[in-house]
Chains A and B, each alone.
Chain A
Amino acid sequence: MAETISFTLNDKDVSINTDGQRSLLWILRTELGLTGTKFGCGQAHCGACTVLVDNKAVRSCVYPVRNASGRQVHTIEGLSMNGDLHPLQKAFVAHDALQCGFCTPGMILTAYALLRENPQPTREEIIAGMDDNLCRCGAHTRIIDAIQSAAAEMKGGN
């Protein structure tokens, strides 16, 4: 059943008239034209589709768009502000923490939510927090290093 669903997307108000059961992933990628959020598995196993809803990481492939009503949604496109890369993005670049780049938006947003919960995580805590995000190219060690250095730079802020 079509309904009107409103939320903020990367700090701008959006309103969409659609079936609220549809997944946020496809609304973002098709109706709203933000293709930085990736489809990987469709069953919340891989994390490529991770976005932030009220600053918590959610798997948008299984997240009904209705649940985003009245909330703040951030995608990878909304992370860099005024042309400046977010410290996590900078750290991923500086550590070469990616190869094909397809899992990268989901990795960065999962790390963002992790650092909000735990601004100075240990290496073990990063591994535990990132463990359900899959990367096939094998950039894992560099991703951990990048998150650690971003955490140090952010010093608890974001």
Chain B
Amino acid sequence: MNDDRLMEIDSHDILTDPNLSRREFLKTLGSGIIIFFCVGDASVLEAQRRGRGYPDDFNAYLRIGPDGRVACFTGKIEMGQGVITSLAQMLADEIDIGLDMVDIVMGDTSICPWDMGTFGSMSTRFFGPPLRVAGAEAKRVLLELAAEQLQAPQDRLVAENGVIFDKQQKDKRVTYGELANGKTIARRAAEKPPLKSPSEFKVMNKPFLRRDSVEKVTGKAKYAGDIRLPDMLYARILRPPAHGAKLTRVDTSGAELMEGVSVVRDGDFIALLHKSPDQAAEALSRINSEFDVPQAKVDDEAIFDYLQANAGRENIVAQGGDLRKGQEQADIVIEQRYLDGYKAHAAIETHTALAKVEGDRATVWISTQTPFPTRDQIANALGFRPDNVRVITPFVGGGFGGKSPGQQAVEAARLAKATGKPVQVAWTREDEFFYDTFRPAAVVKIKSGITKEGRAVLWDYIVYYAGERGAAQFYDIAHHRTVSIGGGFGGGPSPHPFATGAWRAPANNTNTFARESQIDIMAAKAKMDPIEFRLKNARDERLIRVLKAAAERFGWKSAVAPSGRGLGVACGTDSGTYVAQIAEVEVDKRTGRVKVKRIACAQDMGLVINPEGATIQMEGCITMGLGYTLTEDIHFRGGMIFDRNFDTYELPRFSSLPKIETFILDLKDEPAQGGGEPAIITVGAVVANAIHDATGARLLQLPMNPERVRKALAAIAALI
């Protein structure tokens, strides 16, 4: 055996680790074969060091226990996107064990290593490769142990479905559980053991159903709001009518008369608590309060000029050539301004947390995408050490970027500390629409030029406040510049009247809508078919491949828009993945209603771990994308939000659905890319382009609701 890589844990050298020693850490795990590994680069470990609480040379590990089960511990979380299945598939294949023997333990800060959070379609892309290496390392340990136990050379041993046997003498066999039993072996997956090649995959790249669905169809799956503790109280919190409003007067006496109600007041933070949530809500309704609401500076109509007027520093995202030359070479120059309003995340589960505080320790169950950063937020609010706060993440009822901030968890923790009882804070839908970190409203200005022959030669692109993801164009345009002003969210002063944040494929929905609409206008001006125009001006092989795949799947026939057919195309990249979509729409010219009849989507995402899961994500992206494209818009005046429930904020419904056709390119030998977000980015543009093809009207603002469609139709009618 290779002793320098394999260490028995009763040696003493491991005590040199700072903070919690690896030995102490291993004690908490019990016996078994443990493989530590590290996801990401040094900056991830640096952030982890600041978070403290763990040995700091790894941020994920897996364990093979005496029962033969493999468990992977990660700070990532499952919110519907399916990593609970795809991560397990990778391990099952590398370790040669059945998928049902793999457990993915997620989002518990006391047993999972530090992780920054689950967002950006990163779990498969960045967690997957080191996870596979760790799995392969685990198998190498198992083979070494088996060689010793079976007294057979390793090259004669075969691992299959949790058992290792001698291929010359098949009754000489030992199970993984037997090998792990009574031992505590820890190894760090530092080197790169050989990974399975695609031809050896038995589990990866094969479609598997979700692993959590039986719990979810029976009502057994526990979300944060489903956790029950003895003596727990439910809180309802007094909310201001508008962002920036100040409480001037409050009278809680009416609420205090109710039986079983307690009131917690800490400055402007006023909460009513009761052992039933509806009674707490009733108590809240008996409070008399007055707020001073500041004068509104802007509303959902004026916001776009306001954003441009308050533009900050320019950040050059990409540039090449010389814009002046591009202008000279262009025979036709097109200038447009695209607008996109605020969008809500609107997960069906509202932000929820249950907190229990005992002495200087807290345990908090939270619907969150970021267990560790939220743990630190809670610790900070309570004045506790982060290691004394345990965050547990049960199933999360949808996130989409909206469940990264942990305000509700801080509220629950403060109330638990104040009352000495476990307290649940579950936001009402109205709270949710008020405190949501909306996808930012944004403006994109584009000036682009083409030659008579249909060559794109000029591209001058400025995006205000969406952010730069997906902003840089990927066509072959000699003279180009992409500028981003205002980061969209996070850090620094913001002109937005309320919080904004990451919303599924942040910035890219807005940027792709603008870019692909503009490209379509250029194609029409060049009197070229929109796919031919894109191909003529493309050099990126992956882009060309995915566009051709979509065209072939759809059965695209060349035509110059507006052809009257109602067909549109759009493409884009996100999270390392390339996506191309073709849509067919029908426009009711009288009402302005748009019916999307069919969307075909081709995707190049490298190696697909779970084709079933990836397909579901594409379908989900397309469906969700129809909302921001056609109906979803936050109406507001100043800090006052008018859309506070689903009656006015319209999500896509069953009746909104087109026929969805998905096609994933078979690219097993290429690295796995992100799958949770890419297919949503193109939906705005593909529908806008199809509306133009159907009617000749060009929609420049999202959502393309009936009123805006009617207006655009009237504008072209006036020209004729």
Query: Are the C-beta atoms of B219 and A85 separated by less than 8 Å?
Result: no
> Please, what's the 1-or-0 string for A144-157, where 1 marks a CB less than 8 Å from any CB in chain B?
10000000000000
Query: Are the C-beta atoms of B645 and A43 separated by less than 8 Å?
Result: yes
Query: With A43-B647, A130-B654, A140-B623 as given contacts, are A23 and B278 in contact (CB-CB < 8 Å)?
Result: yes
> Please, what's the 1-or-0 string for B48-83, where 1 marks a CB less than 8 Å from any CB in chain A?
000000000000000000000000000000011110
Is A3's CB within 8 Å of the partner chain B? Answer: no
Checking B80, B276, B621 against A101 with a beta-carbon cut-off of 8 angstroms, the contacting residue is B80
Query: Are the C-beta atoms of B655 and A128 separated by less than 8 Å?
Result: yes
Residues of chain B within 8 A (CB-CB) of A77 are 218-220
**Docked pose: A50 CA to B329 CA in angstroms:** 63
For residue A33, give the distance in angstroms from its CB to the closest CB of chain B: 7
> Please, what's the 1-or-0 string for A78-111, where 1 marks a CB less than 8 Å from any CB in chain B?
0110000100010011101011111111001000
Query: Are the C-beta atoms of B348 and A38 separated by less than 8 Å?
Result: yes
Checking A100, A104, A138 against B619 with a beta-carbon cut-off of 8 angstroms, the contacting residue is A138
For residue A75, give the distance in angstroms from its CB to the closest CB of chain B: 7
Is B513's CB within 8 Å of the partner chain A? Answer: no
Query: Are the C-beta atoms of B620 and A26 separated by less than 8 Å?
Result: no
**Docked pose: A46 CA to B79 CA in angstroms:** 19
Which listed segment binds A: B129-137, B208-216, B409-417, B547-555? B208-216
Query: Are the C-beta atoms of A104 and B217 separated by less than 8 Å?
Result: yes
Pick from A39, A138, A143 the residue with the most CB of B within 10 Å: A138
> Please, what's the 1-or-0 string for B606-627, where 1 marks a CB less than 8 Å from any CB in chain A?
0000001000100111111000
**Docked pose: A102 CA to B428 CA in angstroms:** 15
**Interface residues of A: mostly helix, strand, loop or mixed?**
loop
Checking A46, A75, A140 against B219 with a beta-carbon cut-off of 8 angstroms, the contacting residue is A75
Query: Are the C-beta atoms of B80 and A36 separated by less than 8 Å?
Result: no
Query: With A46-B348, A131-B653, A136-B347 as given contacts, are A85 and B214 in contact (CB-CB < 8 Å)?
Result: yes
Is A22's CB within 8 Å of the partner chain B? Answer: yes
**Interface residues of B: mostly helix, strand, loop or mixed?**
loop
Residues of chain B within 8 A (CB-CB) of A36 are 218-220
Query: Are the C-beta atoms of B429 and A98 separated by less than 8 Å?
Result: no
Query: Are the C-beta atoms of B623 and A39 separated by less than 8 Å?
Result: no
> Please, what's the 1-or-0 string for B370-397, where 1 marks a CB less than 8 Å from any CB in chain A?
0000000000000000000000000111
Is A35's CB within 8 Å of the partner chain B? Answer: yes
Is B488's CB within 8 Å of the partner chain A? Answer: no
Is A142's CB within 8 Å of the partner chain B? Answer: yes
Query: Are the C-beta atoms of B651 and A22 separated by less than 8 Å?
Result: no
Give the residue name and chain of the B residue nearest to A103 (CB): B348
Query: Are the C-beta atoms of A102 and B223 separated by less than 8 Å?
Result: yes
Q: Report B395-428 residues with CB < 8 Å from chain A CB.
A: 395-400, 426, 428
Residues of chain A within 8 A (CB-CB) of B346 are 136
Residues of chain B within 8 A (CB-CB) of A41 are 429, 645-646
**Docked pose: A35 CA to B277 CA in angstroms:** 13
Query: Are the C-beta atoms of A98 and B655 separated by less than 8 Å?
Result: no
Query: Are the C-beta atoms of A138 and B219 separated by less than 8 Å?
Result: no
Query: Are the C-beta atoms of B80 and A100 separated by less than 8 Å?
Result: yes
Is B657's CB within 8 Å of the partner chain A? Answer: yes
**Docked pose: A105 CA to B217 CA in angstroms:** 6
**Docked pose: A108 CA to B619 CA in angstroms:** 20
Residues of chain B within 8 A (CB-CB) of A85 are 214, 217-218
Is B222's CB within 8 Å of the partner chain A? Answer: yes
Give the residue name and chain of the B residue nearest to A45 (CB): B646
Query: Are the C-beta atoms of A35 and B647 separated by less than 8 Å?
Result: no
Is B506's CB within 8 Å of the partner chain A? Answer: no
**Docked pose: A126 CA to B429 CA in angstroms:** 27
Query: Are the C-beta atoms of B81 and A99 separated by less than 8 Å?
Result: yes
Is B229's CB within 8 Å of the partner chain A? Answer: no
For residue A98, give the distance in angstroms from its CB to the closest CB of chain B: 6
**Docked pose: A104 CA to B395 CA in angstroms:** 13
Query: Are the C-beta atoms of A93 and B217 separated by less than 8 Å?
Result: yes
Is A42's CB within 8 Å of the partner chain B? Answer: yes
Is B660's CB within 8 Å of the partner chain A? Answer: yes
Is B221's CB within 8 Å of the partner chain A? Answer: yes
Is A137's CB within 8 Å of the partner chain B? Answer: yes
**Docked pose: A94 CA to B214 CA in angstroms:** 10
> Please, what's the 1-or-0 string for A16-37, where 1 marks a CB less than 8 Å from any CB in chain B?
0000001101100111011111
Is B460's CB within 8 Å of the partner chain A? Answer: no
**Docked pose: A22 CA to B80 CA in angstroms:** 32
Is B529's CB within 8 Å of the partner chain A? Answer: no
Checking A33, A101, A132, A140 against B221 with a beta-carbon cut-off of 8 angstroms, the contacting residue is A101
Checking A25, A43, A100, A139 against B79 with a beta-carbon cut-off of 8 angstroms, the contacting residue is A100
Is A40's CB within 8 Å of the partner chain B? Answer: yes
**Docked pose: A92 CA to B616 CA in angstroms:** 13
Is B226's CB within 8 Å of the partner chain A? Answer: yes
Is B447's CB within 8 Å of the partner chain A? Answer: no
Give the residue name and chain of the B residue nearest to A61 (CB): B278
Query: Are the C-beta atoms of B218 and A22 separated by less than 8 Å?
Result: no
Query: Are the C-beta atoms of A45 and B620 separated by less than 8 Å?
Result: no
Checking B82, B209, B646, B654 against A99 with a beta-carbon cut-off of 8 angstroms, the contacting residue is B82
Query: With A35-B226, A139-B620 as given contacts, are A93 and B209 in contact (CB-CB < 8 Å)?
Result: yes
For residue B374, give the distance in angstroms from its CB to the closest CB of chain A: 18
Query: With A43-B429, A131-B654 as given contacts, are A101 and B277 in contact (CB-CB < 8 Å)?
Result: no
For residue B597, give the distance in angstroms from its CB to the closest CB of chain A: 14
Checking B213, B426, B651 against A98 with a beta-carbon cut-off of 8 angstroms, the contacting residue is B213
Checking B210, B219, B223, B646 against A134 with a beta-carbon cut-off of 8 angstroms, the contacting residue is B646
Query: With A100-B347, A138-B622 as given contacts, are A40 and B657 in contact (CB-CB < 8 Å)?
Result: no
**Docked pose: A108 CA to B222 CA in angstroms:** 17
Query: With A42-B428, A99-B616, A138-B623 as given contacts, are A80 and B221 in contact (CB-CB < 8 Å)?
Result: no
For residue B55, give the distance in angstroms from its CB to the closest CB of chain A: 33
For residue A154, give the distance in angstroms from its CB to the closest CB of chain B: 16
Checking A23, A99, A134 against B80 with a beta-carbon cut-off of 8 angstroms, the contacting residue is A99
**Docked pose: A45 CA to B212 CA in angstroms:** 27
* 24 sample A-B contacts, Cβ–Cβ < 8 Å, listed by A number: A26-B276, A30-B275, A36-B218, A36-B219, A41-B429, A41-B646, A42-B428, A43-B429, A76-B218, A76-B219, A77-B218, A85-B217, A93-B209, A98-B216, A100-B395, A100-B396, A101-B213, A126-B654, A134-B646, A137-B624, A138-B622, A139-B616, A140-B653, A141-B623
10 tightest A-B CB contacts, nearest first: A36-B219, A138-B623, A100-B80, A102-B397, A101-B216, A99-B80, A138-B620, A76-B219, A35-B226, A45-B646
- Extra contacts besides A22-B278, A134-B653 (7): CB < 8 Å: A26-B277, A33-B228, A77-B220, A89-B217, A100-B80, A100-B396, A131-B654
